[in-house]
Amino acid sequence: MQGVDIRPLKQRLRAEIKDWRRAMTPEKKQAADARILRRVTGLHEYASCGTVLTYVSKPIEVDTIALIERALADGKRVAAPRCVEGRREMEFFLIHSLEDLAAQTFGVLEPVRERCVLLEDFEGSICIVPALAYDRRGYRLGYGAGYYDRFLSQYTGPKIGVIYAHNLRPRLWHGRYDVPVDLIVTESRLLCCVPAGNRRRMQNR
């Protein structure tokens, strides 16, 4: 039986979610972002990690600027992604403040290479993973470029998805090589996507 092309379905869902997020009032978004930040920083995974890998949020994404500032204030190392020129891959660079960031690929704030150190050892880190939507198994709908898919296929630390509760779906399309996150944090709940025993082993890495 001929397979169904799900690319138009994904594009339609991406557009719907972007429209919904743009329609959020600043007050509603700020309140949701603050609750998500409190939940993330209240996690055992956050408390026990030495390094936080995090995307730098765009206006329609769950805010990570406050998370970056909080993690630095908590004495943690913070690393942000930078796209590798000519390849659909990204590297993480340690930053010391928001001043180490500048607009680069797709207008996203990325580390300025000359000011930052490439992070090559991910031991003791957690990764905050962006998405337009997650499902309850931890699979994500990204923006379609594949940067995080490639990185997560090699990353073994705790993977924490942050999302607005409205963008959490019962089930999303995924391929055999897609990597689910371990935890999903929304403004209203924490969802564990791995069995409890696996989460304990993950925490002890």
The answer to whether the annotation marks 11 as part of a ligand binding site is yes
The answer to whether the annotation marks 28 as part of a ligand binding site is no
The answer to whether the annotation marks 12 as part of a ligand binding site is yes
The answer to whether the annotation marks 30 as part of a ligand binding site is no
The answer to whether the annotation marks 154 as part of a ligand binding site is no
The answer to whether the annotation marks 70 as part of a ligand binding site is no
The answer to whether the annotation marks 14 as part of a ligand binding site is yes
The answer to whether the annotation marks 146 as part of a ligand binding site is yes
Q: Are 61 and 161 in contact (CB under 8 A)?
A: no
Task: Read off φ and ψ for residue 117, nearest 5 degrees.
Answer: -110, 135
Q: How far apart are CA 112 and CA 103, in angstroms?
A: 9
Q: How far apart are CA 136 and CA 116, in angstroms?
A: 36
Could you give the 3-state DSSP secondary structure of residue 131?
Answer: coil
The answer to whether the annotation marks 10 as part of a ligand binding site is yes
Neighbours of 78 (CB within 10 A): 26
The answer to whether the annotation marks 13 as part of a ligand binding site is yes
The answer to whether the annotation marks 161 as part of a ligand binding site is no
The answer to whether the annotation marks 56 as part of a ligand binding site is yes
The answer to whether the annotation marks 150 as part of a ligand binding site is no
The answer to whether the annotation marks 31 as part of a ligand binding site is no
The answer to whether the annotation marks 200 as part of a ligand binding site is no
The answer to whether the annotation marks 145 as part of a ligand binding site is yes
Task: Read off φ and ψ for residue 141, nearest 5 degrees.
Answer: -110, 110
Q: How far apart are CA 10 and CA 172, in angstroms?
A: 9
- Summarize the chain as % helix, strand, coil (round to 5): 35, 25, 40
Q: Which residues are known binding-site members for substrate?
A: 56, 61
Which parts are annotated binding residues for ATP? 10-14, 140-148
Binding annotation: 10-14, 56, 61, 140-148
